[in-house]
Amino acid sequence: MFEGFVDWFLRIFGSRRDIRLGIYGATNAGKTTLANKISMDFTGEPVGKVSQIPHETRVVQKKEKVEIKHNKKKILINLLDMPGLATKIDYKEFYKYGIRGKAAKKRAKEATDGVIEAIRWLSNVDTVLAVMDSTQDPLNQINITLLGNLEARKIPVIIVANKVDKKRAKPDAIREAFPQYPVVGISALKGKNLNGLYDAIAKYARRAK
Amino acid sequence: MKEKKFKMDFVSSETLNEKSQDKRIGFILSKVSDGSILVTDGVLKPEEEMELIKETMRKVDDGFPGIEVCSLKRQTKGVQLFMERVTDQTERFQTFIGNLRGKPAVKTSLRTGLTLIGPAKIIKKIKKNPNSFSVLTEV
């Protein structure tokens, strides 16, 4: 009852903040594609640039006051598209994408800073969409460490099994690997099952305690 | 033809438990950035592993692209799980008090299991199953 009163009071006086929805995951899982899709659906504007080159997102990209309206429910979120998490960043990996020399080293340095920034933001997100590439093995250490951290911090998490439009996609492997979490299979690129994701956001997203 | 070698260090969890989190991460990274693959009979807590990733990123340079890490945590349930949670809470409380007193370097214990951490330059792939993992190296 008291909590209800506090909610009402804060809502009236406008200091109750929006839900900070962090989009986390390994590199090239499709985080920015998803952030853009959500943002385009509800604001008509994208969040950031998408690329096949790893570490395209090297700073946290924000879209504030995104009102998700779904099945008569409205949730106001601040969308936070995080740089991809990684345990290694080799500047030589960018060579195959035509980025060489100083530009490759600069990109690698910015990418390491991006990973650090994404980790720091873990203390400031309310709910996380953990994006995983359905065509890849889900039992990698980035996914395991990320989910372990979110559990320790009691941050609600929805696993987004992305790229289900691909032939090699195995969203069920993600469900088997992490049975204790809600898993939604989508294709951010093709816009497949975004309504299922919005259902899950409406159900599980909440402010951190 | 020049011989290609890599070094493996097997470190007991006791050795790592004796160190505070900062020193433990520093110890691991100094071994791995020197080219060793480190194996220990313990598992870092997820928060500590995230710190390890953060510190690794600070250390990445032209000659050190980062690390590969894989762990197998022993599944705990019942009394063991309860005790693990009690230990976690106690350590969090000790860290909180340590921070208040300006002495944040509190020792925390590793969880039961197995961890392998090595330089990404040498470890090319880790294939993990729920109860095992295999490592592909290239020297």
Query: For residue A139, which residues of chain B lie inside 8 Å, CB to CB?
Result: 128-130
B contact set with A (CB within 8 A):
45-47, 49-50, 53-54, 56-58, 60, 62, 65-71, 88, 120, 126-130
- pLDDT tens per residue, range B105-138: 567 788 889 999 999 999 999 999 888 999 999 8
Question: How much is the mean pLDDT over chain A?
Answer: 91
Q: Let me know: does A157 contact A147? Beta carbons within 8 Å.
A: yes
Query: For residue A91, which residues of chain B lie inside 8 Å, CB to CB?
Result: 62, 65
- pLDDT tens per residue, range B78-89: 777 777 777 777
Query: B56 to chain A: nearest residue by CA?
Result: A87
Residue B128 lies in a domain: yes
Q: Which domains occur in chain A, in start order?
A: 24-204 (3.40.50.300)
Query: For residue B57, which residues of chain A lie inside 8 Å, CB to CB?
Result: 89, 112-113, 115-116
Residue B97 lies in a domain: no
Residue B101 lies in a domain: no
Highest mean pLDDT among A49-58, A67-76, A85-94: A85-94
Q: For every residue of chain B, which 3-state class applies, written as one string?
A: CCCCCCEEEEECHHHHHCCEHHHHHHHHHHHHHCCEEEEECCECCHHHHHHHHHHHHHHCECCECEEEEEEEECCCCHHHHHHHHHHHHHHHHHHHHHHHCCCCCCECCCECEEEEEEECCCEEEEEEECCEEEEEECC
Nearest CA distance, A162 vs chain B (angstrom) = 20
Could you say which of A89, A141, A147 has the minimum Cβ distance to residue B60?
A89
Query: B64 to chain A: nearest residue by CA?
Result: A90
The number of folded domains in chain B is 1
Is B130–A86 a contact, with Cβ atoms under 8 angstroms apart?
A: no
Residue-range definition of the domain harbouring residue B55: 7-75+108-137
- pLDDT tens per residue, range A14-45: 445 689 999 999 999 999 999 999 999 999 99
State the CATH number of the domain containing residue B22. Answer: 3.30.110
Integer Cα distance of B101 and B81 in angstroms: 30
Which pTM does this prediction carry? 0.88
In this prediction the ipTM stands at: 0.87
Is A140–B57 a contact, with Cβ atoms under 8 angstroms apart?
A: no
Lowest mean pLDDT among B11-20, B95-104, B120-129: B95-104
* pLDDT of res. A15: 46
Residue B20 lies in a domain: yes
Residue B86 lies in a domain: no
Which one of A88, A128, A140, A154 makes the best mutation probe of the B interface by having the most chain B beta carbons within 10 Å? A88
Residue B125 lies in a domain: yes
| Residues 6 or more apart whose Cβ sits within 8 Å of residue A182 | A158, A159, A200, A203, A204
Could you say which of B47, B69, B127 has the minimum Cβ distance to residue A152?
B47
Which residues partner with B111 through β-bridges?
A: B43
Size of interface A-B (CB pairs under 8 A): 77
Residue B103 lies in a domain: no
Give the model's confidence band at B1: pLDDT under 50 very low, under 70 low, under 90 confident, else very high.
low
- What average pLDDT score do residues A133-139 get? 96
Q: Let me know: does A19 contact A205? Beta carbons within 8 Å.
A: yes
Could you say which of B46, B50, B57 has the minimum Cβ distance to residue A112?
B57
- What average pLDDT score do residues B8-19 get? 94
* pLDDT of res. A16: 53
